[in-house]
């Protein structure tokens, strides 16, 4: 190890022994499968499944149940592993808009500001502008300033589901965009696209 030149090492256990869970895996599998069939609202949390097993006589710990459930979820997944779609964009195809919250010191006072970030998807060129709040007027101003900086607009704008742009989020990528936000996009000839919630 010293002569290999490596700077970090990791150990990953290939087989996880479960001495106490062993005879209970069938019952746990049955409980998890039944739980999967319930609606999201009625589904039991894993700790409740564990408590049910304990009530039936299981003497092992929660960690073994949690590890089994995690491995089961990974196995079920999508059936694909190590798959990805390479994200590429043509020049002028799309830009991404998002807000970040930063802590700064202004005239000796620590305060939080909102930072509008507009990034061209093809070149990754970035435009950043700070504002005191995250209002619709500031969204419009940030877009206008960014397009002036880039000396043009993209065909499509990729936005998260911010309240200043989206009135309602539906399944998949279906959204009801705010009327004024749509007018701003129409003015700049930009087609708005929303991100899937929690997908980044």
Q: What is the 3-state secondary structure (H, E, C) of 138-169?
A: HHHHHHHHHHHHHCCCCCEEEECCCCCCEEEE
Q: State the Cα–Cα distance between residues 99 and 120, nearest whole angstrom.
A: 15
How crowded is residue 145: how many other Cβ atoms within 10 Å of its Cβ?
A: 14
pLDDT mean values, one per 10 residues, the chain (200 residues): 73 62 85 88 88 88 87 73 73 91 89 93 94 90 94 90 75 77 90 70
Which pTM value belongs to this model? 0.54
Instruction: Check residue 155 and give its pLDDT.
Output: 93
Instruction: Check residue 187 and give its pLDDT.
Output: 92
Q: Cβ distance 142 to 97 under 8 Å?
A: yes
Domain 94-194 class, CATH top level:
alpha beta
Residue for token digits 């206008």?
A: 144
The CATH 3.30.420.10 portion of the chain extends over: 94-194
């Amino acid at each position: 190890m010293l002569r290999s030149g490596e700077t970090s090492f990791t150990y990953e256990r290939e087989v996880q022994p479960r001495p106490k869970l062993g005879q209970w895996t069938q019952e746990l599998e049955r409980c998890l499968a039944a739980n999967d069939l319930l609606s999201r609202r009625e589904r039991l949390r894993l700790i409740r499944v564990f408590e049910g097993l304990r009530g039936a006589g299981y003497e092992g710990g929660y960690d073994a149940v949690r590890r089994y459930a995690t491995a089961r979820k990974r196995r079920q997944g999508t059936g694909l592993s190590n798959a990805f779609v390479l994200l590429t964009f043509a020049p002028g195809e799309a830009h991404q808009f998002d807000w970040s919250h930063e802590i700064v010191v202004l005239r000796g006072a620590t305060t939080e500001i909102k930072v509008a970030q507009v990034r061209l998807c093809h070149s990754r060129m970035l435009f950043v502008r700070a504002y005191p709040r995250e209002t619709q007027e500031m969204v419009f101003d940030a877009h206008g300033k960014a397009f002036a900086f880039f000396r043009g607009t993209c065909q499509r704008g990729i936005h998260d589901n911010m309240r200043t742009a989206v009135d309602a989020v539906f399944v998949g990528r279906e959204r009801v965009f705010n009327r004024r936000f749509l007018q701003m996009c129409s003015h700049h000839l930009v087609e708005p696209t929303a991100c899937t919630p929690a997908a980044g």
